[in-house]
Structure 1
Amino acid sequence: MILRLVFLGLVLLPFTLVALPIQAFIVFFRLPGWQVVPLMFFKILAFGLGLRVSMQGEPVADGPVLLVANHIGWLDIVAVASRVPVSFVAKSEIARWPVVGLFAKLHRTIFVERTRRTDSRRTANEMSTRIAEGASVVLFAEGTSDIGTHVLPFRSALMGAASTAMGTNGGSQVVIQPLAIAYTAISGLPLSRHERHQVAWIGDMGVGDNLAAILGSGPKDVRLAFGAPLPANGDRKVTARTAEASVRRMLNALNRREPLPSAANMV
């Protein structure tokens, strides 16, 4: 833990102090390339936290995409953002967190007020605008976090943002891509169920306890699996169930260290 704290203090902190005003300038003036600084930041942070991130399958590289994923904890954001330039959909409380809220805003996070059902329309509109601009947006479609052994039902309320983006963008290239996130090992040994508190945000665990568990554990293997893209112009409830099934199959395979299902079997 001490070495990680030293690294974060001597490497990540100076980088952040230099990069923060640069990123603020880029976002404020809506300049291109806003993803570059966050990608560098999260790569450094992932290394400092001991994440070893690998990818299977190919993320959609060209054109707008909505990535729908399972959710285990805040480490998911670090793992995904260290490898893929994306924006996230997050609960509105994060916007009010000290420091973290500022970072989230500079990462162009889309905030949703989950206690207000009427906020889904505003959030979906903001998501569709971002997707129509050609961005990749990540939605943790379960609506909550879990320990990472199974997938909770995907909520379909915000899935329609992709089809709305098609109308805004005027093209059929907008797609929805399933993404499975799995923590498979610590210090090279398979992750057991009782060790998942070292990576997952479980129950009423506090931020300090969760961070201490992460910093105190060994190198953590994280695997990101990208499924076959789905068309965004279908029924959002059917699409949500299809994406959920794809993520579940990929997650089970990753946790069992088995080959991923073929693309034909994942959709």
Structure 2
Amino acid sequence: MLFRTLFFIFIFVPFLIVVIPLQALIVALRLPFWQVLPRAFHRLGCLFLGMRVHVIGTPSTGRPTLMVSNHISWTDIVALGSVANVTFVAKREVRDWFFVGMMANLQRTIYADRTRRSETGRTAQAMGQHMASGNAVLLFAEGQSDIGTHVLPFRSALVGAAQHAMIEAGARDVVIQPVTVAYTRLQGLPVSRNERSLIAWIKSKSVGQNIRDILAGPLKDVTIAFAEPLPLRETDNRKAVTKAAELQVRAMLVALNRGGPLPGQLAQV
């Protein structure tokens, strides 16, 4: 804990003092290299949080990509952001959180209001426009976080809406890429079910308690597995596409948690 305190004071804070106004200017001017500083921020965040990130496969780049992933903890964002240039889709409340909302805005986060179905179209349009420029958008398709032992059913509404919005925005060569996040070890040892409460944001814990557990917790090994991107056509059935991605993410999570070989095709390194 002493190391993290010193790291925060002497490295993280000075980094933020320089980077925040610089990134705000980059975003305001819509410069093409806006993803460089957020990537550096997330990599530094992994060091601060005690996360070693291992990558299997390769994130899709240079073409419109919708990534769909499982969700375990808010630290997923830091881990994913350290290895892939992505824009996240987050719940609307995040925008109003102290400091977190500001940092999310600087990474051009797209917000979704899950309490109002009428907002689905607006969120999908924002996703489509961003992807039409050749960028990747990552959607936590379960709609909520889980403890990391299994995958909840993926919601297809935003996948289908974004599918049409991308076409309307002029996107071509669109792909969907299943992504799996797995926390496999704590201090070098396999994670037990009871220890997952030190990682996952479970409902019985407050935000403050969850943050304290992670900051005071041991070194965590996180594996990010990128499956082979699949074409996403306007005529594809959104429920079938979403279900196929869900099954692939679930199979990869089970394999990673068990330490076994991954099933199916992964993007080649």
TM range (shorter): over 0.9
Which has the higher mean CA deviation after the structures are superposed, 34-43 or 222-231? 222-231
8 Å contact 1:184–1:222 — kept in the other structure? yes
8 Å contact 1:8–1:45 — kept in the other structure? no
Compute the TM-score of the two structures, normalised by the length of structure 2: 0.95
- Structure 1 position 170, deviation (Å): 4.6
C-alpha distance after superposition, 1:80-118 (max 9, x if no partner): 001111110000001001111010001100001111111
8 Å contact 2:63–2:174 — kept in the other structure? yes
8 Å contact 1:199–1:213 — kept in the other structure? yes
Q: Which amino acid aligns with 1:260?
A: L
Is residue 2:170 matched to residue 1:166? Answer: no
Give 5+ residue unaligned stretches, structure 1: none
Q: What is residue 19 of structure 2 aligned with on the other side?
A: 19
Distance 1:10 1:91 in 2: 32
Is residue 2:252 matched to residue 1:250? Answer: yes
- Structure 1 position 55, deviation (Å): 0.6
8 Å contact 1:163–1:232 — kept in the other structure? no
From the superposition, tell whether residues 28 and 218 of structure 1 become closer, same or farther in structure 2 (CA, over 3 Å): same
Q: Which amino acid aligns with 1:108?
A: R
- Provide the alpha-carbon RMSD of the alignment: 1.2
SS of the residue corresponding to residue 117 of structure 2 reads coil
Instruction: Quote the sequence identity (%).
Output: 49
Q: What is residue 96 of structure 2 aligned with on the other side?
A: 96
8 Å contact 1:198–1:210 — kept in the other structure? yes
- Structure 1 position 167, deviation (Å): 4.0
SS of the residue corresponding to residue 78 of structure 2 reads helix
Distance 1:106 1:201 in 2: 24
Q: Which amino acid aligns with 1:4?
A: R
Q: Which amino acid aligns with 2:178?
A: P
C-alpha distance after superposition, 1:16-68 (max 9, x if no partner): 01000000001011111000000001100111100000111121122110100
C-alpha distance after superposition, 1:145-198 (max 9, x if no partner): 000000000000110213431342352x11000000000000000000000111
Is residue 2:109 matched to residue 1:115? Answer: no
Q: What is residue 105 of structure 2 aligned with on the other side?
A: 105
Q: Which amino acid aligns with 1:250?
A: M
Q: What is residue 238 of structure 2 aligned with on the other side?
A: 236
Query: Matches of residues 46-125 of structure 1 in structure 2 within 5 Å?
Result: 46-125=46-125
Q: Once superposed, which parts of structure 1, at least 4 consecutive aligned residues long, lie more than 3 Å away?
A: none
Distance 1:136 1:213 in 2: 31
C-alpha distance after superposition, 1:204-261 (max 9, x if no partner): 4112111111111111000001112122111111101000000000000100011111
Q: Which amino acid aligns with 1:213?
A: D
Distance 1:170 1:25 in 2: 27
8 Å contact 1:54–1:223 — kept in the other structure? yes
Query: Matches of residues 218-237 of structure 1 in structure 2 within 5 Å?
Result: 218-233=218-233, 234-237=236-239
Distance 1:188 1:96 in 2: 36
Q: Which amino acid aligns with 2:245?
A: A
Question: How many residues align structurally?
Answer: 263
Is residue 2:147 matched to residue 1:143? Answer: no
SS of the residue corresponding to residue 159 of structure 1 reads helix
